[in-house]
Amino acid sequence: MTHVKSFIAGFLSTLVFHQGLLYVLYAAGVSPRAPFDMTATVPLGLPAVFSLAFWGGIWGIALWVLIRRSRGASYWFRAVVIGAIGPSAIAWFVVMPLKGMGIAGGWDPKIIVGALLLNATWGLGVALILRALNRAALLRTGVDSCSAALDQRSELPRR
pTM of the predicted model as reported, rounded to 2 decimal places: 0.85
> Domain locations in the chain?
2-153
pLDDT tens per residue across span 17-73: 999 999 999 999 999 999 999 999 988 999 999 999 999 999 999 999 999 999 999
- d(CA 108, CA 113) in angstroms, rounded, equals 9
The 10 Å Cβ neighbour count of residue 36 is: 15
Distances (CA, A) of 142 to 138, 145, 146: 7, 9, 10
Q: Are 62 and 86 in contact, with CB atoms under 8 Å apart?
A: yes
The amino acid that residue 51 corresponds to is S
pLDDT tens per residue across span 95-123: 999 999 999 999 999 999 999 999 999 99
Count CA atoms within 13 Å of residue 90 on its CB side: 11
- d(CA 14, CA 31) in angstroms, rounded, equals 17
DSSP state of 99: T
Q: What's the confidence (pLDDT) of residue 157?
A: 44
